[in-house]
Amino acid sequence: MRAGGKFYFLPAVCLAAAVTLLGAGASPAMDACEESGSRTVKVEIWASKRFKKDLPAIGKAFAEMGNTDVVLWVYPAENPSRAIAIGRCVPAYIAQHVLRETRERFGEPESLVNQGFLSPWWIGIGTSLFDENSQRRTAPEEMARLMDPSLDPREFQALYRKYSAQEKTVPGFGLELANPKLMTSK
């Protein structure tokens, strides 16, 4: 495990590049996560432009757990999304550290993105890469449960999957329609 993570700052003009960095989601060949702590977790943060002068300190705070590469994006509008995305192989201690820092610096997250859309070793904070049908609004008590330090990695990931399960139907055109982005287990 590395003593500290590294972080990078990239302007929001390159936001389109983030889509290519995400990957297409979980690969069928990657059924099991590596148990060793040697894999690096990529943490991408979209922060309001009002935080621009604080980005180096924010990057260091998010990277202090180690085994992370932090990339900071300046969101061009006033407030980025309040969505959080955590990949299925991210260790619980890293995910909880990132959630804690997010709540402290940017406020309470409002929704969680379904892991079927994510690279296994990736965390996105304030990301607007996923539409509303790809995520689920979360309650404060659900976030508090995710922050429980007694959770082992499997329990944390099971809770995250439960809390990010998408709605089967969504409103559209005055009707309740089948969710076009619904991820189902195979």
Q: CA–CA separation, 116 vs 87, rounded Å?
A: 9
The alpha carbon dihedral of 33, 36, 40, 45 has a sign of positive
Match 């993105």 to its residue by tokens. Answer: 113
In this structure, what DSSP letter does residue 23 have? -
Tell me the two tokens of residue 124: 């996105």
Q: Which regions in the chain score pLDDT beneath 70?
A: 1-32, 34-37, 133, 166-170, 177, 179-183, 185-186
pTM of the shown model: 0.76
Specify the pLDDT at position 17: 39
